[in-house]
Amino acid sequence: MSATPLGTPTDVAIDVPTGVPTRVPTHVPTHVPTDVPTHAPTAAPIDLLLARCRRVFVRNFGVPVRIGVHDFEQQAPQRVLFNVDLYVPLASSTPRRDRLDEVVDYDFVRQVILERVRRGHVQLQETLADDVLARLLAHPGVLAARVATAKPDVYPDCEAVGVEVFGVKDGAAA
Confidence tier at 16 by pLDDT (50, 70, 90) = very low
93 domain-assigned: yes
- What share of the chain has pLDDT > 90, as a percent? 57
The angle, 0 to 180 degrees and rounded to 10, between the axes of the packed helices 125-137 and 106-118 is: 130
pLDDT of residue 94: 86
Q: Are 129 and 147 in contact (CB under 8 A)?
A: yes
| Residues forming a β-bridge with 79 | 64
156 domain-assigned: yes
Q: Are 137 and 143 in contact (CB under 8 A)?
A: no
32 domain-assigned: no
Query: Is pLDDT at 10 greater than 80 in this prediction?
Result: no
96 domain-assigned: yes
- What share of the chain has pLDDT > 70, as a percent? 72
SS3 state at 136:
helix
The tally of domains found in the chain comes to 1
26 domain-assigned: no
Query: Is pLDDT at 45 greater than 60 in this prediction?
Result: yes
CATH of the domain at 114: 3.30.1130.10
How far is the C-alpha of 25 from the C-alpha of 29, rounded, in Å? Answer: 10
77 domain-assigned: yes
pLDDT in tens, 65-107: 999 998 888 899 999 999 999 999 998 888 899 998 888 999 9
Range of the domain at 103: 45-168
pLDDT of residue 91: 86
